[in-house]
Amino acid sequence: MTASRDERIADRARHPKWKNSPLRIEMLECINCDKCIAYCPPQFGAIFKHGIDVVIVPELCSGCDKCLPVCPVDCILPFPEWATKGSPVEWWREPGGADDPYT
């Protein structure tokens, strides 16, 4: 269950075995350089351009931290509250869609 990225996208559910908190992007500090998108491993594929913003979908983010060192303004932060705050529904337009950078 929720083992593959496609399944996680279909279920909109995080892998239950991921122990690390997902990350989030502080939008007020992000300079929209898009660098982090390429550093998210494709098996997770959690970072997307969303309009003018760059966002991390927490249900797809394993907390592997590979995106952290590439951010020039250090605006990628832990998101332990993800389960209660959740992803806005519109963030699910990109994962698995025609413009998904990880497929």
Q: Which of 55, 61, 94, 102 binds ligand SF4 (CB under 6 A)?
A: 61
| 65 conformational bin, left if phi > 0, alpha if psi -120 to 50, beta if neither | left
Please say whether the beta carbons of 81 and 88 come within 8 A: no
Please say whether the beta carbons of 48 and 55 come within 8 A: yes
Whose Cβ is closer to ligand SF4: residue 75's or residue 100's?
75
Whose Cβ is closer to ligand SF4: residue 9's or residue 23's?
23
In the complex, the residues that contact ligand SF4 under the rule CB under 6 A are 23, 25, 30-36, 39-40, 44, 46-47, 54, 56, 61-67, 70-73, 75-76
